[in-house]
C-alpha cells in the first residue's frame, strides 16, 4: 500500500514522539481548564498577559461593531482597511522603521519575506536553531541554503565567504525553544562586511525585550542598517494574532509586489487589528509588566538552580529545563500535570535529538506565589524521575 500511515503513526508513538492537542476550555491565562481539568499553566506565549485583557477584548468588540468580522478580500483587492493601515503605522513607529506590513501569521510573514528577497542563484544562511517557518522558507526559496552553527558569527563568516548572489542571513531574535538571544551586533557586522542583509524574526522578543518592548533591536540599540529586515509576530506578547515585516519603503513595496503569502490571502479581520492596536498601546506604556516579568524570571532561575535543574542560558520568559530523553520529558510533564500544573514537553523534531525539554514560559500575568508553586512541584517531581539510560 502506498500510504502506510498507521505504520508511520505507530513508529512515532513507539519513539515517545506522538503529539496530542490538549483541549483548552478557558481563555488563556495562568489558570486554565484543559480537558476538563483546572491547571496552573506555564506554557503559553502570552508573555505580558494581554491575550485576555479586558481593554483588548473591548477593542476587538468595538472593532467588530464598526468594521464587521471579516477581512473580505486580499489587501490588494479591497481587504486593506483603516485599522490595518493604522496598525501598520503604529508598528513602524514602535520599530523605528519607515514602514511595516501586516501579515496574517508569523509563518506567512517569514515565508513571504524570505521568498520575496532571494531565489535561484542567491544564498540564504540560517542559524541551525531557527524556527521551522524560517527553515521552510529557506528551503522553498530555491536559493542556496546553508545553516551556520548556533549563534556563531565565525561559522556565519565562513559560510559568507562562499555565498553567491544576493545573500540573506536569517536568525531568530529570541530562540523559541531555548530562550537565549541572538548575538545581533556580531551577526550584523559579519553580514554587513560581505554586503549581505540580516533578517531577524523577533517573535519572542517584542514585548519582553527593550525598554519600550520594541524587542531585541531596541535591547541592543541596532538600527535599520544593521537589521534591514525585521519580523515580529502578534500572537505572542501582543496577545492577539498576525505578524509584520518592518523595514525601508523599498523593502515593504517589494513585499507588496512579490511576497506571495501576502498577496494571495484574505486580510486578517479588521477588528483583530483594532484589538492589536490596543495591546500595542499597553505593551508600550505598561512598563510594570516587563518589570514584574523580569522579577519572576529571576525568581524561577534562582529556585530552579537550587533544585539542581538544568536550565539554559536565557534571561527571557522562555526558561526550558533540559531533560534529554523524550520519554523522561513526557513523564515529568505528566507528573506535574497530576499535581495540577501544565508545562509542555518539547521533543524532536522540534528540538535536536537527545535534547527534549520542558519549556517553561513565564508571563506578567503570573504571580510570585504561582511561580513558587511550580518550583515546589518541580522539587517534588524531579527526583522521582528515573535516571537516564544514556
Ligand atoms: C520564532 C517564531 N517565528 C514565527 C512563528 C510563527 O508565528 P505564528 O504563530 O504567528 O505563525 C513562531 C511561533 O509560532 C515562532 O516561535
Residue 256 inside a domain? The answer is yes
Q: Which of 285, 317, 346 is the last residue of a domain?
A: 285
Per-residue pLDDT of 38-95, as tens digits, reads 999 999 999 999 999 999 999 999 999 999 999 999 999 999 999 999 999 999 999 9
Ligand 1 atom closest to Cα of 107?
11
In a shared domain, residues 203 and 315? no
Q: Known catalytic residue: 388?
A: no
Whole-number Å distance, alpha carbon 233 to ligand 1 midpoint, is 7
Q: Which of 258, 285, 312 is the last residue of a domain?
A: 285
CATH classification of the domain holding 60: 3.40.640.10
Angle at 137 between CA 158 and CA 70, to 5 degrees: 150
CATH classification of the domain holding 40: 3.90.1150.10
Out of 45, 105, 131, mutate this one to test ligand 1's pocket (max ligand atoms within 8 Å of CB): namely 131
In a shared domain, residues 306 and 329? yes
Q: Which residues of 308-321 are buried (b: 16+ CB within 10 A; e: fewer)?
A: ebebbebbbbbbbb
Residue 4 inside a domain? The answer is no
Q: Looking at 75, 204, 219, 366, which residue is catalytic?
A: 204
Ligand 1 atom closest to Cα of 130?
1
Quote the pLDDT of residue 386. Answer: 78
* Rounded alpha-carbon distances, angstroms, from residue 44 to 14, 47, 153, 204: 27, 8, 31, 11
Question: Which residue's CA is minimally distant from atom 4 of ligand 1?
Answer: 106
Question: Which residue's CA is minimally distant from atom 9 of ligand 1?
Answer: 106
* pTM (2 d.p.): 0.96
Quote the pLDDT of residue 389. Answer: 55
Ligand 1 atom closest to Cα of 110?
4
The low-confidence residues of the chain, meaning pLDDT below 70, are: 1, 388-390
In a shared domain, residues 169 and 210? yes
Whole-number Å distance, alpha carbon 386 to ligand 1 midpoint, is 34
In a shared domain, residues 71 and 98? yes
Ligand 1 atom closest to Cα of 175?
1
In a shared domain, residues 131 and 222? yes
Ligand 1 atom closest to Cα of 133?
4
Question: Which residue's CA is minimally distant from atom 8 of ligand 1?
Answer: 106
Q: Looking at 104, 155, 176, 363, which residue is catalytic?
A: 176
Q: Known catalytic residue: 204?
A: yes
SS3 per residue for 146-200: EEECCCCHHHHHHHHHCCCCCEEEEEECECCCCCCECCHHHHHHHHHHCCCEEEE
Q: What cell does 123 get? A: 544564498
Quote the pLDDT of residue 16. Answer: 82
Q: Is the peptide bond before 308 cis (omega within 30 degrees of 0)?
A: no
Residue 9 inside a domain? The answer is no
How many domains does the structure of the chain reveal? 2
Determine the structural domain holding residue 29 and report its residue range: 20-49+287-389
Question: Which residue's CA is minimally distant from atom 7 of ligand 1?
Answer: 106
Quote the pLDDT of residue 243. Answer: 98
Residues within a 6 A CB radius of ligand 1: 105-107, 110, 131, 133, 172, 176, 201, 203, 233, 235, 243
Cα atoms in the 13 Å half-sphere on the side-chain side of 362: 33
Q: Known catalytic residue: 176?
A: yes
Q: Which of 285, 302, 317 is the last residue of a domain?
A: 285
Quote the pLDDT of residue 122. Answer: 98
Amino acid at each position: 500500500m502506498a500510504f502506510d500511515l498507521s505504520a508511520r503513526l505507530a513508529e512515532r508513538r513507539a519513539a515517545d514522539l506522538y503529539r496530542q492537542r490538549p483541549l483548552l476550555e478557558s481563555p488563556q491565562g495562568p489558570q486554565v481548564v484543559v480537558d476538563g481539568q483546572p491547571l496552573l499553566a506555564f506554557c503559553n506565549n502570552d508573555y505580558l498577559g494581554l491575550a485576555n485583557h479586558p481593554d483588548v477584548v473591548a477593542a476587538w468588540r468595538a472593532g467588530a461593531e464598526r468594521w464587521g468580522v471579516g477581512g473580505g478580500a486580499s489587501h490588494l483587492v479591497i481587504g486593506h482597511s483603516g485599522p490595518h493601515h493604522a496598525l501598520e503605522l503604529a508598528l513602524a513607529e514602535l520599530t523605528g522603521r519607515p514602514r511595516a506590513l501586516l501579515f496574517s501569521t508569523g509563518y506567512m510573514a517569514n515565508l513571504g519575506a524570505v521568498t520575496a528577497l532571494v531565489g535561484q542563484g542567491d544564498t540564504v544562511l540560517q542559524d541551525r536553531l531557527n524556527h521551522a517557518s524560517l527553515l521552510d522558507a529557506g528551503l522553498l526559496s530555491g536559493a542556496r541554503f546553508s545553516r551556520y552553527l548556533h549563534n556563531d558569527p565565525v561559522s556565519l563568516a565562513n559560510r559568507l565567504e562562499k555565498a553567491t548572489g544576493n545573500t540573506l542571513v536569517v536568525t531568530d531574535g529570541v530562540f523559541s525553544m531555548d530562550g537565549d538571544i541572538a548575538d545581533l551586533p556580531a551577526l550584523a557586522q559579519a553580514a554587513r562586511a560581505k554586503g549581505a542583509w540580516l533578517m531577524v524574526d523577533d517573535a519572542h522578543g517584542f514585548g519582553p525585550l527593550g525598554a519600550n518592548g520594541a524587542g531585541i533591536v531596541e535591547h541592543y540599540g541596532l538600527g535599520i542598517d544593521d537589521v534591514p529586515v525585521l519580523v515580529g509576530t502578534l500572537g505572542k506578547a501582543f496577545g492577539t494574532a498576525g505578524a509584520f515585516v518592518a523595514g525601508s519603503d523599498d523593502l515593504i513595496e517589494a513585499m507588496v509586489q512579490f511576497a506571495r503569502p501576502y498577496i494571495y490571502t484574505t486580510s486578517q479581520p479588521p477588528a483583530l487589528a483594532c484589538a492589536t492596536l490596543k495591546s500595542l498601546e499597553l505593551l508600550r506604556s505598561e512598563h510594570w509588566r516587563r518589570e514584574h516579568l523580569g522579577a519572576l524570571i529571576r525568581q524561577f532561575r534562582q529556585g530552579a538552580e537550587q533544585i539542581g535543574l538544568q536550565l539554559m542560558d536565557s534571561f527571557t520568559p522562555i526558561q526550558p529545563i533540559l531533560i534529554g530523553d523524550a520519554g523522561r520529558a513526557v513523564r515529568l510533564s505528566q507528573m506535574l500535570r497530576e499535581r495540577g500544573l501544565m508545562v509542555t514537553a518539547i521533543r524532536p523534531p522540534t528540538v535536536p535529538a537527545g535534547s527534549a525539554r520542558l519549556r517553561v514560559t513565564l508571563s506578567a500575568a503570573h504571580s510570585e506565589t504561582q511561580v513558587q508553586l511550580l518550583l515546589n512541584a518541580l522539587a517534588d517531581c524531579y527526583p522521582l524521575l528515573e535516571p537516564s539510560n544514556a
